[in-house]
Amino acid sequence: MPVKLFIRDLNRARRSLGALAADTRGAAAVEFAFLLPLLTLMLLGTMELGRAINMDREFTMATGMTGDLVAREQFLGTSSTDAKNTLDSMMASIQHIMQPYDSSSLALGIFSVQASATNASDTRVVWSYSWNGKTVPSKCATYALPSGMLAKGGSTVVVESSFLFKPLFVNVIPGLSTMTWTDKSYHSPRNSCVDYVKGDNCSSLSC
pLDDT tens readout for residues 83-129: 999 999 999 999 988 988 899 999 999 999 999 888 999 999 999 99
Mind listing the pLDDT tens digit for each residue in 50-63? 999 999 999 999 99
Q: How many residues does the chain have?
A: 207
Distances in Å between the Cα of 2 and the Cα atoms of 5, 8, 13 are 5, 10, 16
SS3 content of the chain, % helix, strand, coil (to 5): 40, 20, 40
Query: CA-CA distance, 202 to 183, in Å (whole number)?
Result: 27
Share the mean pLDDT of the chain.
85
pTM recorded for the entire structure: 0.78
Query: CA-CA distance, 7 to 198, in Å (whole number)?
Result: 107
Bigger pLDDT: 97 vs 40? 97
